[in-house]
């Protein structure tokens, strides 16, 4: 070790000793005798403990001052989540309702909501022909039959054009065009249940077409 390095270490020991001595004197009100310069100064355990406590207090004060004044925790920005909203459903309500037509309903709406938006059932509506609890699908037709109407069909879904498909209950212009386009792209339907591969057609609608349509 050269003389410069020894001098640096000696100054560091002296600086640490002075810091520890001041911390001890502030905590205990007693003076600590100074050691001659150039000699090793021994830090007593109680002096080291006082220094550690003083440093802990400083750290705690810094942490406390960094907290919000009202004690609240900042919340994450929820603007991105709030800005998203599901697209509305476009539904065609036809048949025995007061005001048939195309209307927009909120996402998650059911058939009963579509009937209500169309002004409700007419007196001669066949209410048993429709499931009011069924969730709606964008682009579908909700058709309310008139009591005593003769059944339509059977319509061959592999041969009928869009106009003929629209004559089936629950199949509006949008679904009719989808059936024709799907048939052209993927080939004929092997069964009536295969209509479920068309967007907007589910098991409940296929069940309604039983006896009225064939594949």
What local confidence, expressed as pLDDT, does residue 214 receive? Answer: 82
Residue 190 has pLDDT above 70, yes or no: yes
Domain borders along the chain are 3-65, 86-148, 150-215
Spell out the residues 6+ positions from residue 202 whose beta carbon is closer than 8 angstroms to its own.
Answer: 137, 196
DSSP-based three-state secondary structure for 142: strand
State how far the Cα of 19 lies from the Cα of 137, in Å rounded to an integer: 77
CATH class given for the domain over 150-215: mainly alpha
Domain 86-148 has CATH 3.10.20.600: yes
Do the Cβ atoms of 206 and 137 come closer than 8 Å? no
Do the Cβ atoms of 140 and 168 come closer than 8 Å? no
Residues 41-50 have pLDDT tens digits of: 455 566 566 6
Cβ neighbour number for residue 107 with a 10 Å cutoff: 12
pLDDT-based confidence at 195, cuts 50/70/90?
A: very high
Which has more confidence, 13 or 169?
A: 169
Residue 8 has pLDDT above 70, yes or no: no
């Amino acid at each position: 070790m050269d003389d410069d390095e020894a001098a640096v270490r000696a100054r560091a020991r002296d600086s640490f000793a002075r810091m520890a001595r001041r911390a001890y004197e502030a905590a205990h009100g007693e003076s600590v005798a100074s050691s001659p310069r150039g000699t090793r100064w021994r830090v007593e355990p109680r002096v080291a403990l006082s220094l550690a406590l003083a440093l802990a207090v400083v750290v705690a004060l810094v942490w406390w001052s960094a907290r919000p004044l009202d004690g609240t925790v900042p919340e994450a920005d929820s603007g991105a989540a709030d800005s998203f909203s599901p697209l509305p459903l476009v539904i065609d309500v036809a048949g025995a309702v007061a005001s048939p037509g195309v209307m927009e309903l909120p996402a998650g709406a059911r058939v009963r909501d579509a009937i209500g938006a169309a002004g409700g059932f007419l007196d001669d509506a066949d209410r048993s022909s429709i499931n009011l609890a069924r969730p709606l699908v964008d682009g579908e037709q909700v058709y309310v039959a008139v009591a005593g109407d003769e059944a339509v069909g059977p319509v061959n879904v592999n041969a009928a054009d869009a106009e003929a498909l629209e004559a089936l209950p629950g199949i509006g212009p949008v679904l009719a065009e989808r059936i024709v386009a799907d048939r052209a792209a993927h080939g004929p339907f092997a069964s009536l249940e295969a209509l479920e591969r068309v967007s907007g057609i589910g098991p409940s609608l296929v069940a309604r077409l039983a006896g009225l349509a064939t594949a």
